[in-house]
Amino acid sequence: MDRKQFNVYLPPDLIKAVKLAALESDQSLSAFVEAALRARLGGAR
32, 22 Cβ separation under 8 angstroms: yes
Question: Per-residue pLDDT tens for 7-25?
Answer: 999 999 999 999 999 999 9
Write the DSSP string, 1-45: -----------HHHHHHHHHHHHHTT--HHHHHHHHHHHHTTS--
pLDDT exceeds 90 at position 29 = yes
List C-alpha distances in Å: 38 to 12, 34, 35, 43.
23, 6, 5, 5
How sure is the predictor about 37, in pLDDT bands with cuts at 50, 70 and 90?
very high
Least confident of 11-15, 22-26, 33-37, 40-44: 40-44
Give the per-residue pLDDT at 43.
73
